[in-house]
Structure 1
Amino acid sequence: MAVLVTGGAGYIGSHTVAALLEKGEQVVVVDNLYQGHREAVLGGKLYEGDLRDEAFLSRVFEENEIDGVIHFAANSLVGESMKDPGKYYHNNVYGTLCLLEQMKKSGVSRIVFSSTAATYGEPERVPIDEYDRTVPTNAYGETKLAMENMIRWFDVAHGIRSVSLRYFNAAGAHDSGRIGEDHQPESHLIPLVLQVALGQRETISVFGEDYPTDDGTCVRDYIHVSDLADAHILALKRLRDGGGSAIYNLGSGKGYSVKQVVEVAREVTGHPIPVSMEARRAGDPAVLVASSDRARRELGWKPARERLEEIIASAWRWHSSHPHGYEN
């Protein structure tokens, strides 16, 4: 029996594939390589194609005995989603519908969904827990919430049990040094900061310093990508053990401001990393920090790399040895 990982050539997906392989799992990867990288898939069977292609997806399920699905495939840029929401609904929501329909047809009844804490929008309290209201402030978060709801109704109607994992910013790289973060274009804070240290950009742009936070910049939760991979595997184990559908937050419970991230990166890299202050971006909440108490209690999730210094040092090792990503 195999685990199907959609978007498994992407950043978090590839780290999850690596973790599954380390545990002796058979892995099937589906990725259209729009944002993913063939070189990031360290093993298993890779199918290049799109979830919205019915004939392609049917072939994947026919050729493999799939035990469960871990679903990462989605567009995920907040700014882009605000400019082109249709793209996000078509790829994220319709793509997930196609996947669920194929799972129903093939009798596959377990799915772990890589959601986002952007489903909460501007939180009423911090840290956020799973029972807080979900009012997304951007189209990306809205599509992820729609995907969660669709998955829930497929459980009600067809018995496809699910675990949805909501989290914020993934960062860092695999201990082997073989895979790491490479987006084109890059939009995540930590790799952008490290590009300044590598001499690939002159400054790091900080969007807004008038938020209601200690230093005026946005506060976010950061999780090491390998800890996220472990959480997805633990969620799959819950479903294999007969557990019912559930939603879990993943987070450190501690937030770091943009200015704090820059300062830690200066310490790790030894580079001054100049800052350029810019206007706020549409759809950016001031503080996003999640409580992962439920995941720790029910899934047994124990992050191994919670310190921001460890996370950034891990990312720095990858970017230093792969200054141009997988195109090195």
Structure 2
Amino acid sequence: MAWLVTGGAGYIGAHVVRAFLAEGIDVVVIDDLSSGHAEFVPDGVPFVRGSILDAGLLRRTFAEHDLGGVVHVAGYKYAGVSVRRPLHTYEQNVTATATLLGVMEEAGVNRIVFSSSAAVYGTPHTDLVTEATPKNPESPYGESKLIGEWLLRDQGVAAGLRHTSLRYFNVVGSGATDLRDTSPHNLFPLVFDALAAGRTPRIFGDDYATPDGTCVRDYIHVSDLAISHVAAAGRLDAGEPIEPVYNLGSGEGVSVGEIMTTVAAVTGIDFTPTREPRRPGDPDRIVASGELAARDLRWSMRHSLDDMVRSAWESQQAASAPNG
């Protein structure tokens, strides 16, 4: 049996696909390429191009492949833009998830790992976020991810769906030079693009209650994240106990200032970031505990900040090369 990876041609999904293959587990990818890249899908992996809003396409996919479970990564992930496009966000993240779950039930497939988000917490009033931290999403994106978790929970009660949801903050780095983060909204691509264009990256606020005065956030390497998706699938396959949600967090976090210093060292581009005023609502520190995931899902911070920056930079450089 294979696992279906929705959004498997995207940055995170493609790493999940390769993590499955590294364990000798077959996968099938479905992706509409709205933000993914067909070249991210390895040769030999069945690739279905289309939207999971298309129930007919999903039914054909489940009929044509021997699928034992789903890793659901597909979604619209731009929190800021979701405020301007709430209906689109709910369609892509809620309606699509409900459609997927309905077809799974029809096909008798009852295992799913859901790629959720720490956006479900909003701005937590605690230095260390745990799974029990109150949920208070502050964007349609965060709300849509929380509703996705509720859909899984309710299908678990109604139809015996075995499920878990993985929440995480900032995913960075690369596990291979041919995979990269191409989001126009994420920190690493923004910094690299600014440097490539001769612009100086910006830091918003340097008077926070942190060691260097800049915000501290949770950054995790995409390959570490992918391994835990496969581990979660393995627990579902084996019928082992599993929590309904897990945070994939560093427990410590790094500051934006530390990231800028590391970027300068790794790239060899000497720069001093421009200091801008604080953005309203930005808390000093948001870091998540990964204790439960470390216990159950092989979760570990295997990569240093230097590893994260270096791998991301190398994949960016490879893409910019004449034959990249």
- Normalised by the length of structure 1, the TM-score is 0.92
Percent of aligned positions with the same letter in both sequences? 43
Counterparts of 1:273-284 in structure 2, within 5 Å, are: 273-278=271-276, 284=282
Corresponding position: 1:268 with 2:266? yes
Matched residue SS, 1:132: coil
Q: 2:225 touches 2:299 (CA, 8 Å); kept in 1?
A: no
Could you say which residue in structure 2 is the equivalent of 1:37? Answer: 37
Q: Matches of 2:36 and 2:278 in 1, distance apart? A: 29
| Residue in 1 that maps onto 2:310 | 313
The Cα of 1:125 is off from its aligned counterpart by 1.6
Counterpart in 2 of 1:220?
Answer: 217
Structure-2 residue corresponding to 1:115:
116
- Structure 1 unmatched ranges of 5 or more: none
Secondary structure at 2:288 match in 1: coil
Alignment equivalent of 2:292, drawn from 291, 294, 306: 294
Alignment of 1:42-61 (within 5 A): 42-43=42-43, 44-61=45-62
- What's the CA shift for 1:282? 6.6
2:11 matched residue in structure 1: 11
Deviation (angstroms), 1:48: 0.5
Displacement of 1:214 in angstroms is 4.3
Do the aligned partners of residues 146 and 68 (structure 1) sit closer, same or farther apart at CA in structure 2, a change above 3 Å counting? same
Shift of 1:191: 2.1
Show the counterpart of 1:74: 75
Q: Deviations over 1:19-40 (max 9, x none)?
A: 1112221111010000000001
Q: The residue matched to 2:194 in structure 1 has which SS?
A: helix
1:25-78 C-alpha deviation (Å, 9 max, x unpaired): 111101000000000111410000001111111111111111010000011112
Change beyond 3 A, Cα 1:324–1:206: farther
What are the ranges of 5 or more consecutive residues in structure 2 without an aligned counterpart?
A: none
Q: Give the 3-state SS of the residue equivalent to 1:3 in structure 2.
A: strand
**Contact in 2 for aligned 1:173/1:315 (Cα 8 Å):** yes
Instruction: Give runs of aligned pairs for residues 1-328 of structure 1, distance below 5 A.
Output: 1-43=1-43, 44-174=45-175, 176-183=176-183, 186-197=184-195, 199-209=196-206, 211-242=208-239, 243-278=241-276, 284-305=282-303, 307-323=304-320, 328=324
> Is the 1:129–1:290 contact (alpha carbons within 8 Å) kept by the matching residues of 2?
yes
**What per-residue deviation string (whole Å, max 9, x for no partner) do you get for residues 259-310 of structure 1?**
22111111111212343344555775543211001111122323321x1111
- What SS is found at the alignment partner of 1:28? strand
1:313 to partner: Cα distance: 1.0
Equivalent AA in structure 2 for residue 122 of structure 1? T
C-alpha displacement of 1:247: 0.7
Question: Residue 114 and residue 8 in structure 1: after superposition, are their counterparts in 2 closer, same or farther (change >3 A)?
Answer: same
Partners of 2:202 and 2:186 lie apart in 1 by 11
Other structure's SS at 1:322 match: helix
SS at match of 1:70: strand
String of CA shifts for 1:70-114, please: whole Å, max 9, x gaps: 000011112101221221111111110100011111111100011
- Letter of the aligned partner of 1:230 in structure 2? I
CA RMSD of aligned residues (A): 2.0
Q: Which moved more, 1:51-60 or 1:271-280?
A: 271-280
The range that moved more, 237-246 or 269-278, is 269-278
User: 2: distance between equivalents of 1:160 and 1:59?
Assistant: 21
User: In the alignment, is the contact (CA less than 8 A) between 1:31 and 1:47 conserved in 2?
Assistant: yes
- Determine if contact 1:122/1:286 at 8 Å carries over to the other structure: no
Distance across 1 between alignment mates of 2:262 and 2:136: 32
**Paired residues, what number?**
322
Is the contact made by 1:202 and 1:274 (CA closer than 8 Å) also made in structure 2? no
